[in-house]
Chain A
């Protein structure tokens, strides 16, 4: 195994920042091509008129998930060296509820608001201003709920541990679930998306 390249010291911090810009360009380019610079397209997800968000997200998750598993299988990628988001169920669930509310009201998520602004959307700039303000409030009030931000800690928990299944089986189940959702998404779009011009 010789990847992740950065973890095997193929290059240092300075080069990693150059890599960051390049990866960012590909990320932003793809988000724009998916139509994620348009708040209406994103918000229509929540009215079953345009299920692009679900389709793009789950296709991407599946591709990256299968890719890492395969590269690990053939001895190229050491998956234990990939950063794994630690689980803090309390703040992640509460944050999820809050972000769902913000998503429908604001029309973007942080990443897509950047792409929207980059293509001239005024509401994108205002959303970013709002997001920065919300983060300032979070930082200022953090001491008040500091204990809650570490509640429900489960370490580097993975679905494989939770379900007691191998990564391959979990991946297979996720693919099945995604295919089911894609099928449902196509039906919903036919039903609710017709009035779109």
Chain B
């Protein structure tokens, strides 16, 4: 069933290019890449729109949007807009843009949606607790040799391997 889709890059090529992008970010901006921070700011923006008092009364939300602060006026938010554009661009160029649900052979798309929401929720919570996600902690913190980032990365993958057995029917 091979169609006109282009092949993915070799993992080592993709890793090399990703490393150069990260290096460029260090050299130009003096900071690393990220993703979950921008999502948190989006959430805070919505909460702030519904109830500014609620944001000011919660020390976590207030950090992003206390008083007159606009949570979306931030480097990561613009970077994430770029990530979406870049993903779309690459997908379109490679003929890979397609409305579909990724799921294993032993689970229905609807079942997969439930898992996606649950897993997303767990990860959203965890990413805020860990002060960053795979991009901000593991990748950027890893390359700058931050001790906590390495601890985070090792524990995250170990945890994934332990839990994988219990949800194998979703994937294999």
Please report A residues at the B interface, Cβ cutoff 8 Å. Answer: 3-7, 16-35, 37-40, 43-47, 49, 51-52, 54-65, 67-68, 71, 76-77, 81-89, 91-124, 126-140, 142-143, 146, 149, 154, 156-162, 167, 170, 182
Contact = CB atoms under 8 A, between A and B. Distances in A.
Q: Which of B26, B141, B148, B157 has the most CB of A within 10 A?
A: B148
Interface of B: 8-9, 11-12, 14-36, 39-40, 42-44, 47, 58-61, 75-91, 94, 96-104, 109, 112-113, 115-164, 167-168, 170-172
A107 B23 contact: no
A92 B87 contact: no
B90 A32 contact: yes
Contact of A99 (B15, B44, B96, B126): B126
Contacts of B158: 100
Which 7 A-B pairs have CB atoms at the shortest separation, nearest pair first?
A24-B82, A106-B119, A95-B130, A63-B19, A59-B15, A100-B159, A130-B120
9 contacts: A3-B30, A26-B21, A32-B87, A34-B9, A85-B136, A96-B152, A99-B133, A105-B170, A127-B117
Specify which of A94, A105, A116 lies most central, judged by the most chain B CB atoms within 10 Å of its CB. Answer: A105
B118 A130 contact: yes
B123 to A, nearest CB: 3
A81 B15 CA distance: 25
Contact of A154 (B102, B128, B135, B147): B147
B60 A139 contact: yes
A89 B129 CA distance: 11
Contacts of A71: 23, 27
A143 to B, nearest CB: 7
B120 A113 contact: yes
A158 B143 CA distance: 11
Given A101-B122, A105-B167, A68 B146 contact: no
Nearest to B129: A95
A7 B26 CA distance: 10
A130 B151 contact: no
B58 A139 contact: yes
B129 A91 contact: yes
B55 to A, nearest CB: 9
Given A85-B144, A119-B91, A157-B148, A25 B85 contact: yes
A116 B99 CA distance: 10
Given A119-B88, A158-B146, A101 B58 contact: no
A45 B172 CA distance: 11
A100 B162 contact: yes
Contacts of A27: 18, 21, 33, 79, 82-83, 86, 135
Contacts of A118: 83-88, 91
Contacts of B24: 23, 26
A86 B103 CA distance: 37
A128 B39 contact: yes
A92 B120 CA distance: 18
B143 A68 contact: yes
A79 B61 CA distance: 31
A166 B171 CA distance: 42
A115 B85 CA distance: 9
Contact of A130 (B42, B100, B121): B121
